[in-house]
Amino acid sequence: MSGQIQPDPLIVVAGEADPAWFSAVSTALGDGYRVRRYTLRTGYVSRLADDQAALIVVHGADADWRFWVTAAKSSPATRRIPVLVVTDDALVRDGALLAGADVVYHPHHVLNDLPRVAAEMARGVDPDAAAQLAHECDQPLPELARKGVEQFNAGEYYQQHDLFEALWVQTETPVRDLYRAVLQVGVAYYQITRGNGRGARKMLLRSLQWLNILPDRCQGIDVKALREDAARVRAELERLGDDDDLTGFDRSLLRPVSWTPSDLES
């Protein structure tokens, strides 16, 4: 089974606060992390999802600290990313927790504690879960999922949702993320057929958190191809703009799921 090489966890420092503070955060974290500064509000959530952010650090001195917290926590695509706010202002501390921040640190303590905090909080791939997923991806695709793929490939996107959702609910192991990923891409395609471009974009963005952690092939499904197809569809939606006039959308981009039997079925 082929898979993706997992990069070092990405720590995002969000806001336009003192760049020297950003440098201090980067130095404090040391090796084993990638650190990136986000200063633009536009496309913030999309960038978090695309970059697979593992932790967001927000300086409470930034005038827009509330935006950096709430925008991340209000989107299903990014709400699982932990948010750490750094402040010595009691009002900002209380407001940040109410806005959804996972933890608030005093500036005098955060740099010394940041490596430990990042190790505990940063969202990444659990090695045991990854090993189990690798094993499960070598297993045959369940019958319910095969029927879901057939419906997906027949353009019956609403119906495939019901089958994959039923399988996802009854599966408690890491491979459930495969079923959730296909389901969500299919729902996005369904929204396109209904002319709901906004809904489709949101669902494609949401699907990234599952597509990006899956191996390139899982239970015979070509996840790499699905990932690339979904990216092309999203790019086309973004080209068309924010309105829901999808008359110019290229429907040939709604490609089928590529599936071949696993080695155990051959």
CATH of the domain at 151: 1.10.3450.10
**Pick from 84, 106, 124: which residue ends a domain?**
124
**Pick from 124, 142, 175: which residue ends a domain?**
124
Q: Are residues 71 and 92 in the same domain?
A: yes
Kindly report the pTM of this predicted structure: 0.82
Structure tokens at 251: 């429907």
How many CA atoms are closer than 13 Å to the CA of 76, on its beta-carbon side?
Answer: 11
Mean pLDDT of the chain: 89
Taking residues 66-80, report their average pLDDT. 94
Domain count, the chain: 2
pLDDT at 202: 92
230 C-beta neighbours (distance < 10 Å), count: 23
The range of the structural domain enclosing residue 154 comes to 129-253
Domain membership of residue 176 (yes or no) is yes
Domain membership of residue 157 (yes or no) is yes
